[in-house]
A and B are shown apart, each in its own frame.
Chain A
Amino acid sequence: MNFKNYLNFLLAMTGKEIKARYKNAVLGFLWILLNPLFQMLFIGFIFSNFITVPITNYFLFLFAGLLPWNFFSYSLTKTTPSIVYERSLIQKAKFSKEAIPLSIVFSNFFHFLISLLLLIFYLILSGDFQLNNLTVWQFGNFIFSLIWLLAFTCGISLLTSALNVKFRDVNFFVQALIVLWFYATPVIYSLKILPKNYLSLFRFNPIAYPFEMLKHGLIATPLPSANILFANLIISLIIIILGIFIFIKENRTFSDWL
């Protein structure tokens, strides 16, 4: 298969994911936005009334963090068992199997981008965000964080989906991990409000820094120290490379395990 055909195939798989998801949903694409909106109202209600978080404009802050979190968590929970779920495809023909998890990540990324655009639209309308105040630095952070999150989500999805074929309990580990990971990621809080001596822990969460970068780009929250950046980058790269490596090694014998 040449490269153009490969891209078309990946695109068709992604399109299938997107179409299939909203085909029978009455509200269709509105769900992309309703979901984080409800989450925001709910979590925001708790953390601005019962337990107060010292962050101004908390609802907006929360929304900006929930969008990337939903992208990441939906992707990972859906890709991990994806190869096993698509066993009938794998038993049918020879094709590029990485398209199965990648198409799920891409379709979620597509939704993520749309909801980001709507958020930016809101920010401009509400006056919280003025295009002429946007620095190149902020914009660079924003773009880089998107690429980082996409690459990392692809990498870890390749890893978990490939491993789940031989070790079916990987899916359960991931489900358990996702719940904990939410609290370990600066979504409902920012690293700025945490005690200094805990900050070094965030070096081990590869998505901590890109989350802060994204929010820095969108709502100009401060960035954490560069130590965390480098540690996060290195761990991300290791997981991405490991994911690609293991997927390449395992994918040709997937059908033996399904």
Chain B
Amino acid sequence: MPNNFKETTKNLKEIIDNLDKKREYEFHFHSADGADVTSRFGDVENIQYHNDEALTVTCIDGKRKGIASTNNLSDESIELTIEKSIASTNNLSDESIELTIEKSKTIASFLETDKHQGLAKENLINEFDIDCGINFPKELSTEELVNMTIECEKSALDYDKRINNSEGSEYAYSQSNNLILNSHGAAGSYSSTSYTLSCVVIAEEEGLKERDYAFSTRRSFNQIGDPKAIGHESAKKVISRLGAKSISTRKCPIILTPELSVGLFSSFLSAINAKSITTRKCPIILTPELSVGLFSSFLSAINGNNIYKKNSFLRDFINKKVFSDHISISEQPNLKEGLGSRPFDSEGVITSDKLIVEDGVLNTYLLDTYSASQLSLKSTGNSGYSNILINSTKPMMSNLVESIDNGILVTELMGSGANMLTGDYSRGAFGYLIENGKISYPVTNFTIASNMIEMFKNIEEIGNDYYLNSKIKCGSLMINDMTVGGN
């Protein structure tokens, strides 16, 4: 725990303990420092350092909520921020705090009361400087960082002479500190680190250009892997995209698959001239990265704030079947080195392991204090979510492509065509045609469409080729009966 964070914690705790007891107060403090280095064609493109801190004060007064924040942690500034957060305008002058702002200038004067407003009161954290296995600070010199990005990019540029351009390689590091305090006794803090190395390259063949990227995000520097391997992966991916053609509209299963295995087919694929296919319904495979995206839509659909507003296609699915029997989804907030690990949620509520989906059935929504009150339920410690694991009781294979006769492996999705209210899903895609359990050629300029309620039920297989750059841990997905729109 950095010393200045320790001091800030002590100072803020003292301040909140001495505030009036008529209102509810919450302090959330976050500070971070780090570096960001980008190199391109062996030269430095950019070096940035950042060192930020911010205090957000939430005040609930008479069932009105006010929020104010500041980047200035001087005593006067903190005091002013607290004043500005005070929501009630009825009795501004009689308090322990000397108010210097005019009543008419408070946001609160525009607010109606809301009986559901209130800070978290139960299951609160009460421990500072918690070690949850996600803080691994490491000092690296600027020179080391530059060299690492140059090495990463070079391995991509050297991979194939068709890779003739680059957007460079970027390294980003951040060490951050989180503190929560509220007037009901929540008091907790923890620190974490994050390291990311990425590479973006461009390949050209017959005048057509494609770009692709690879990256690795980890809690510990030692886990991000060999810079050369990341460069290599970006190179394999971009080469495999060359020579893509359009397909015709069809309905088919799709597989959403391992990013890495795509590279295995690269040299083979690039030699082939792709053909057109017709509009159809067929299975698709989504890569682990894309599968993560689909599950993040699921998590958003069961977020209490969307449920109580009835703005979710899963609003009536509690205790009902959402996925087929073989699928279960759990939240595990305390995984060592987990990208989503945290000892408490952003309201200071302790988050523990839970089974969100069991044998395909939705067990619980994800609730924060406010949405829980709206739904007459209790907070599940989900003001935000931590690590999410997607599991199947079926054998989880490393290569789903082999299990499909005729379908499409989707490696990239574009556009925002997921309607959270109706579940309607329609997105632009890039991928590979699968014939007889084998990748046959790259295809572009097509769309995949269905409804997420159907898609969730139609998840036939889940791979064990986990995507490690996200707090949602999931492998490839094979989804049946997708409509593929081509030409």
Do A and B make up one complex?
no
Chain B residues at the A interface, C-beta cutoff of 8 Å: none
- A residues with a Cβ closer than 8 A to B are none
